[in-house]
Chains A and B, each alone.
Chain A
Amino acid sequence: MLATQRTDKWWIEPTLTAFGFLCFVIYTTWRAFSGENFVADNYLSPFYSPLLFENPAGHGLDHSWFGSWPTWVPNWIPKSPAIFILIFPLSFRMTCYYYRKFYYRSFFLSPPACAVEGIKQKNYKGETGFLIIQNLHRYTLYIALLYILILYYDGYHGLFRDGTFGIGIGTIILLINPTLLAFYAFGCHAFRHLIGGKEDCFTCPAGNEKIKYKAWKKVSLLNSKHMLWAWASMIWVALTDLYVMLVSKGVITDLNTWNN
């Protein structure tokens, strides 16, 4: 394993990526299971959005879609509203072509880096065996597109406190979040295909530029920076949660027009 003739520091990139991603996973897991401090007035943490139910302690009623923590939820389920929804954005990221690249490299060592031998596999199957599920990525994309709307709605919610229009640092953070997600999702490879890439001819039969072609061009532009948007949106979503948590705990004070 890890046999290579390479003399450069090929392990830096996969290690840094793995470290960065692990930090995110640890933070997210901790926050998702905590089930607290996800609401600060009209700000809602994106890890908890859409908030289907308030948590058992009764936090988040303003934001919750269906009211209080339901009695039918079995006891063994962690008492955190994030449990119901976090799987959706997660499934989008985990089947993303870019994420696949880096976790195959950094975590599965398949291969760890170019021209570096990974774990020996008798019968390597690529994405034809169990990983055939990666082909469902476009379905998770549809969910992600929905999330953009939901998170913008949260940002919109962030403009009103007790019915009064205003703006705070939190509002801005909450509005940047879906914007970065949009840059990420609209540069998705599956989206690029569906929006026009699947056509063999963009201008047939008349030879004129169609909306499809223009859209494909724009999406291709975003797509060429897909990795950047993947990281930017991932880091930002964690920062957004962190901000809401700190404000909710009273560790920091949100600067805003409502005189907090």
Chain B
Amino acid sequence: MSERKFSVWKGTPEGGKLHDYSIEVDKGMVVLDVVHEIQKLHDSNLAARWNCKAGKCGSCSVEINGKPKLGCMTRLNEYGEDETITIRPIKTFPIIKDLVTDVSWNYEQNKKIAPFKPRERDADGNHRFMQRDVDRVQEFRKCIECYLCQNVCHVLRDHEKKNKFVGPRFMLRLASLEMHPLDTENRIEDIKKEYGSGMCNITRCCTDVCPEHIQITDNAIIPLKERVVDEYYDPFMKLYNKIFKKSKLRIYIIKSYLVTLR
């Protein structure tokens, strides 16, 4: 056991300030443990959100020494022994009280997204697809909705373009729908116009903070941006596809080629 210094932001939507605490800490403690110690010993009305204490519910997102992190997965030994550990609420969403913020804006974004629309079932009434076709999408299913990525994304955080961009968490969800082998909905137009794929400048902070280590930028956002390019910025590819992919011309060319070979 040893004493450590902590500084925790307390306040309401009107304002607040940092409060200092000195806490007896033990080996292996995480930041959320400290919050609980403060509640138990010093300040029973310190508001904090948590649930699983196992990095799986995504409730305990805070900013620890300025970095967006899960309180329950951040061990104290990540910091120097004399360093004061400062805990603040996530910046991008409105304060309810102390460390608790109102993240309901995120739920609104989710509702905007056109839901999964599977193709017809096979003749025997089943839906079939291969594992390797959903490996990609499964990475995205690891998301625990902690909204740390939404919090750190500078488009929402600093530029406050919440009306123009749904944020990385929902680009991830869009990717998981768009890449699904069974899904038949086309969301590309909305991804560009409504959800704002162009607002993201791929600076990768969402990926850097994701506690599930999902490659949000590389595996979800950039592939979606490339799909938008197919649709809006690549006339040659479109023309090529029109002529060669869907038309009879292609079959004709291939057939006549085969004939000349013969």
Give residues in A with beta carbon < 8 Å to B: 4-8, 97, 100-101, 104-105, 110-111, 114-115, 117-118, 120-121, 124-128, 131-132, 135-138, 189-190, 192-194, 197-198, 200-204, 207, 209, 213, 223-224
Contact = CB atoms under 8 A, between A and B. Distances in A.
Given A104-B202, A189-B222, A202-B132, 15 more contacts: A7-B65, A100-B201, A100-B202, A101-B202, A104-B201, A110-B154, A111-B203, A118-B158, A127-B199, A127-B201, A128-B199, A197-B226, A200-B180, A202-B130, A203-B133
A124 B198 CA distance: 11
A124 B159 contact: yes
Contacts of A135: 225, 228-229, 232-233
Interface string B66-77: 111000000000
Given A114-B205, A118-B154, A126-B201, A5 B66 contact: yes
B129 interface: yes
A7 B66 contact: yes
A223 B159 contact: no
A201 B65 contact: no
B201 A201 contact: no
Given A132-B198, A203-B132, A209-B132, A8 B67 contact: yes
Which bucket holds chain B's interface residue count? 35 or more
Contact of B67 (A115, A118, A193, A197): A115
Interface of B: 63, 65-68, 83, 86, 88, 91, 128-130, 132-133, 152, 154-155, 157-159, 161, 165, 178-181, 183, 196, 198-205, 208-209, 215, 218, 222-223, 225-230, 232-234
Contacts of A118: 154, 158
Contacts of B196: 126, 128
A110 B204 CA distance: 11
Q: Shortest 7 CB-CB distances between A and B: which pairs?
A: A5-B66, A6-B66, A114-B205, A193-B226, A128-B198, A201-B181, A124-B159
7 contacts: A6-B66, A118-B158, A135-B229, A135-B232, A193-B223, A193-B230, A200-B180
A41 to B, nearest CB: 41
Given A110-B201, A128-B199, A198 B227 contact: yes
B123 to A, nearest CB: 13
Contact of A198 (B158, B222, B230): B230
Given A97-B222, A201-B181, A213 B132 contact: yes
A100 B201 CA distance: 8
A253 B47 CA distance: 72
Contacts of B230: 193, 198
A114 B209 contact: yes
A124 B161 contact: yes
A101 B154 CA distance: 13
A89 to B, nearest CB: 21
B199 A126 contact: yes
A76 B40 CA distance: 77
B181 A200 contact: yes
Contacts of B159: 121, 124
Contacts of A120: 158
A198 B208 CA distance: 25
Nearest to B178: A200
Contact of A200 (B130, B183, B200, B209): B183
Contacts of B223: 189, 192-193, 197-198
